[in-house]
Amino acid sequence: MKLFVAGISYKTAPVALREKVAVPPALLACHGCRLKLGAGLDEVVLLSTCNRVEIYGTTPWVNGNVHGILRHLGAGETDYSPYLYVREGAEAVKHLFQVAGGLDSMVVGETEITGQVKNAYQTAQDAKLTGRVLNRLFQTALQIGKEIRTRTNVGRGAVSVGSVAVELAEKVFDKNLAQKTVMIIGAGKMGEACVRHLAKKGTRSVLVSNRSFERAEGLAAEFGGRAIRFDDCLAAMIEADIVVSSTGCPQTILHRADLAQVMPSRRNRPLVLIDIAVPRDIDPDVQAVDNVYLYNIDHLEAIVRENLQSRESEVGRCDEIINERAQELIAKLEAPAVKPSARPTSAAPVWGLCGAARA
């Protein structure tokens, strides 16, 4: 029995190609069955995300063409050979461990991929597409994903502007964002992303102010919040605890005098201002007002870079864990599968060359 992984990812193929073989979660089992039958596999798990499409399989092939396997996903006659990578045996084991641990992700250490790996495996197992080899492989991979995050710092520290905004707000409010009110000035994508991250933390309400009141109403409805006319945003700031500004205006829209007027009406409650606009929306002199905390896009991006560097420095420790666990799993998979009443016999390794050139 030979173990392999064949796939394409953001590292090898543009999105225009990846989307041709991408499989929605609801169709993973159906396409997995198609792969198992069409490609002559004994076991198969299909992993499909926005950044990768990978086929993990075991096969009795002595000489087979793994490069043609993606065509079984209904992708037509496209030749994926220039973009395809193939890992066999121990290298396939290590690859899955790296994927499950977030080490092969676009953002090192991200956690979403672990859940996607778990869903892919669970779907294949429920459809009876897995057996001894892939069950043990994926169960171990999910354990290693947890171990990596427990024993290293590879997943720590915010690595997007939106998540950094949450991190900074939590510092001001002592990690308690529940019952806080968020206000967004301008309805740009980055500002919206910041508010989404903050809303996930259980903020009480969202206020949306934009020059286009219709756009403000649409975004407010999405968050279950309230639209504010642009000319009324300063008055509405009395209610806010966190303000995210991203208007695209050519000049600043908030100044020290504005905040000096607002703060007494707020009884000087702390106010976090997150200015992600370029040119900046908020004049730096607002920091002279007591209990006003201002962060601009450079502050946020500097923290992102620092956190990414910290994560990348942990990759070596993660690799040590992966290599150690891979050797343990290899030994278990190569051990003969013996029934209690049967006499032990020698067994061939569960993997070998799949007859395809490695990428």
Catalytic residues: 50
Q: For residue 28, give the 3-state DSSP assignment.
A: helix
Residues 6+ apart with CB under 8 A from 229: 209, 213, 216
Query: Could you tell me whether strands 52-59 and 2-9 are parallel, antiparallel, or unpaired per DSSP bridges?
Result: antiparallel
By the 8 A CB rule, do 252 and 280 touch? yes
Best CA proximity match to 106, nearest among 150, 159, 146: 159
Cα separation, 217 vs 203, whole angstroms: 19
Q: Dig out the tokens for 155 from the structure.
A: 């997943």
Around 321, how many Cα atoms within 13 Å sit in the side-chain half-sphere? Answer: 23
* Beta strand spans in the chain (E): 2-9, 43-48, 52-59, 85-88, 181-185, 205-210, 226-229, 242-245, 271-275, 292-296
> Could you tell me where the DSSP H helices lie in 152-285?
161-172, 189-200, 213-223, 233-236, 256-265
Around 13, how many Cα atoms within 13 Å sit in the side-chain half-sphere? Answer: 25
Q: Which residues face 344 on adjacent strands? A: none
Classify residue 254 by its DSSP letter.
B
Q: Which residue has the tokens 């710092």?
A: 153
- How many Å from the N-terminal Cα to the C-terminal Cα in the chain? 21
